[in-house]
């Protein structure tokens, strides 16, 4: 029977158009669904679950905040969606043109307003995954191609950073939740990835303890022990000295032999040099979610 079918989170993501990150974040924060679990604790979704997620996805794309609509029935969601007309997409060409023009003109007011409009009109996970991450990647690619100058990139990054800091500060904290240190290791001064991680980890129910950038292993370990943190997550953009960075990671692994250490990076390290049992390298936020759910 169709109603007996169950789907993995990968298939559910494809069927609903939602990233796995958003599905998990909505479940953790709003208890939207209670999917079945396999023996290995993997989620299994029903057709009814997928229908609910599709409707919520449409409603949030139409500008409704997930916090205001998560408890609505499917019929109520349909009425809400069909009375609203066409659903706008995030970061479309028109929006991107305004944002890039404001960056090129160093127009802080316009840039903040445009980003703020997307933040107000979308759920936090939707804003992060469907707007902020694509925008950061677009700005980075335009800088690399020469379409934006270094000063443009620094200007945009400073404003994006301030917005992410504010998002992190207003997160509610559960003193009983698991704690995780978030920072960048020595030599890494790019803050955006770590800030995005701290906002998303809070949406997963963790308490992120944000230390900032360019921290030596000794200080990270001290903070982890002082706060009884369950894990450490570090963002690495591109190591100028791979050997030095791996030495720092090895020291941290030695200082925290029973801790979970996570390195978020798209850089491909020499696998022969990765010998630390409690260190995990993840290339994206889906992998981060999978790792922290084990």
pLDDT at 182: 97
The CA-CA-CA angle for residues 24, 30, 36, to 5°, reads: 50
Query: What's the mean pLDDT when you consider all of the chain?
Result: 85
Q: Return the domain boundaries, the chain.
A: 2-82, 93-169, 179-292
CATH code: domain 2-82 is 1.10.1660.10
Question: What is the tens place of the pLDDT at every residue in 75-119?
Answer: 788 777 766 444 344 677 888 999 999 999 999 999 999 999 888
CATH code: domain 93-169 is 1.10.1240.10
- Helical H segments across the chain, by residue range: 9-16, 20-30, 47-61, 66-69, 74-82, 93-104, 108-120, 124-127, 133-145, 150-169, 192-203, 217-226, 242-255, 285-292
Question: What is the tens place of the pLDDT at every residue in 15-57?
Answer: 888 888 889 889 888 888 888 888 888 889 988 888 899 889 8
- The yes-or-no verdict on residue 274 having pLDDT over 80 is no
- The yes-or-no verdict on residue 221 having pLDDT over 90 is yes
User: If you average pLDDT over each of 13-22, 161-170, 208-217, 268-277, which comes out highest?
Assistant: 208-217
Considering the four listed CATH numbers 3.40.449.10, 3.90.45.10, 3.50.30.40, 3.40.50.280, the one that applies to the domain covering 179-292 is: 3.40.50.280
């Amino acid at each position: 029977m169709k109603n007996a079918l169950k789907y993995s989170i990968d298939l559910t993501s494809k069927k609903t158009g939602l990233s796995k990150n958003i599905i998990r974040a909505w479940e953790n924060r709003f208890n939207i669904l209670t999917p079945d679990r396999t023996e290995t604790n993997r989620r299994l979704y029903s057709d009814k679950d997928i229908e609910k997620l599709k409707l919520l996805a449409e409603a949030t794309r139409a500008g409704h905040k997930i916090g205001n609509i998560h408890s609505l029935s499917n019929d109520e969601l349909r009425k809400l969606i069909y009375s609203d007309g066409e659903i706008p997409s995030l970061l479309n060409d028109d929006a991107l043109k305004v944002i890039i023009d404001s960056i090129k003109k160093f127009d802080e007011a316009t840039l903040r307003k445009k980003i703020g409009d997307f933040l107000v009109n979308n759920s936090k996970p939707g804003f992060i995954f469907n707007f902020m991450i694509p925008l950061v990647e677009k700005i980075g690619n335009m800088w690399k191609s020469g379409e934006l100058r270094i000063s443009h990139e620094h200007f945009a990054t400073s404003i994006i950073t301030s917005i992410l800091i504010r998002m992190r500060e207003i997160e509610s904290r559960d003193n009983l939740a698991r704690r995780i240190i978030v920072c960048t290791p020595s030599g890494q001064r790019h803050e955006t990835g770590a800030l995005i991680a701290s906002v998303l980890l809070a949406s997963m129910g963790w308490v992120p303890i944000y230390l900032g950038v360019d921290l030596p292993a000794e200080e990270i370990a001290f903070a982890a022990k002082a706060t009884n943190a369950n894990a450490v997550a570090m963002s690495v953009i591109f190591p100028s000295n791979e050997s030095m960075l791996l030495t720092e990671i090895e020291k941290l692994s030695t200082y925290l032999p029973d801790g979970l250490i996570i390195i978020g990076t798209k850089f491909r390290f020499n696998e022969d040099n990765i010998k630390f049992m409690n260190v995990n390298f993840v290339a994206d936020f889906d992998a981060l979610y999978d790792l922290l759910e084990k």
